[in-house]
Copies of this chain bind each other. A is one copy, B any other.
Amino acid sequence: MDLIGVLHLDELSHGLANLSMFPYFEMAHYIVSVMALREQPGALEVSRVSPLACWFSSMLFCFGGAVLSGIMLAEPPVAPLSNSTSVLMASIIWYLVFYCPMDLVYCCAALLPLRLVLSGMKEVTRTWKVLGGVTQAHSKYKDGLLVMIAIGWARGAGGGLISNFEQLVRGVWKPETNELLKMSYPTKITLIGAVLFALQQTHYLPLQKHHLMLVYTVFLVVNKSRMMLTGSSASPFATIESALYKTLFTGYSPYAALTGEVKKACIDNGATNGTASATKESGEKRSTGQQSPAKGQSSSLEAKEESENAATTSCKKTN
């Protein structure tokens, strides 16, 4: 708290907390979201074949979080449609990004400096969305820490979490990959934000809300800018994640070796054992033509991340 006082950050955090997302930040969110859709493989083709499916997909990119959290709390998933101004704004942006003569809007917005600003502004809306989800869940489930995390996460990263069904609208179906199997950076950072805000809301985290908002927003914006400028998709948590994973989910090395031996024994003794079939299955799957989830997802998700990073460098030479 003292550090914040010394740096005169208290006023700044109050100012940020009172910032209105409407209209500029929301608009940036819609532009970046619709551009992300446009950069999905096959999206441009769909936009020519069926503008309606393309529009619906765009709305899921823009309002996916509200739709998903609505379903999870048994509130009408059509509710976002009732906010005419937002939908109209998102629809105009969708139209301009996909169908603007000479493709001016997309090519301009894809210029690195402009895209950097828009992406930064979009990240700011994430804080508001996560906080909104946590607060909404808190008003329904007083002590439901897990519910608050789930709703905050869904609200902030909804577009990613429902991507399987968003793709289905466009006639694409990739069951072997989803955001739970291999989380992308935005999904991860949103989950961390949801945990932090839920802990703050239940007073487990001794921080004031506007301070947490400031810290989280600054982290989001700085990190997103760094990733866009360096073109790296390396998560800043890679080391922590890896350590956590090794500690919790593989056991210490001596145990791991032992586990392996026990498992081998299990396999030798029980031929029809589920453990055995699971271990050997990668080979079988390949022979039946079905892609292993672990492999399939990584390649397709990498492609998605690449396209996101690549997009920052595209179109700039044409202007």
Contacts and interface: CB of A to CB of B under 8 A. Distances in A.
Interface of A: 38-53, 56, 70-79, 81-82, 84, 87, 95, 99, 101-103, 107, 137, 140-141, 143-147, 150-151, 164, 168-173, 175-178, 180-183, 245, 248-252, 255, 258-259, 262-263, 265-266, 269-270, 272-275, 277-279, 281-282, 285, 292-294, 296-297, 306-307, 310-311, 313-318
Contacts of A102: 255, 258-259, 262
B255 A107 contact: no
B77 A77 contact: no
Contact of A164 (B48, B168, B182): B168
- Ordered nearest first, which 9 A-B pairs have the shortest CB separation? A171-B293, A39-B274, A173-B175, A270-B314, A273-B314, A272-B310, A82-B144, A269-B317, A44-B278
B49 A270 contact: no
Main SS class of interface, A: helix
Q: Which of A50, A270, A274, A313 has the most CB of B within 10 A?
A: A274
A266 B107 contact: yes
Given A76-B74, A176-B171, A180-B56, A262 B81 contact: no
Contact of A274 (B87, B172, B250, B307): B307
15 contacts: A40-B274, A43-B278, A46-B293, A48-B250, A50-B182, A73-B76, A82-B143, A84-B143, A101-B255, A102-B259, A171-B296, A173-B175, A266-B315, A270-B316, A274-B314
Oligomer: number of copies: 3
Contacts of A79: 147
A179 to B, nearest CB: 9
A51 B169 contact: no
B180 A175 contact: no
Given A266-B103, A274-B311, A42 B281 contact: yes
B279 A313 contact: no
Contacts of A45: 278-279, 281-282, 292-294
A221 B74 CA distance: 35
Given A41-B278, A314-B266, A245 B171 contact: no
B41 A274 contact: yes
A50 B175 contact: no
A82 B315 CA distance: 48
A39 B24 CA distance: 51
A219 B83 CA distance: 33
Contacts of A251: 99, 101
B315 A273 contact: yes
Contacts of A78: 72-73, 137, 147, 150-151
Given A274-B311, A315-B270, A180 B50 contact: yes
Contacts of A250: 48, 99
A234 to B, nearest CB: 18
A311 B275 CA distance: 9
A239 to B, nearest CB: 17
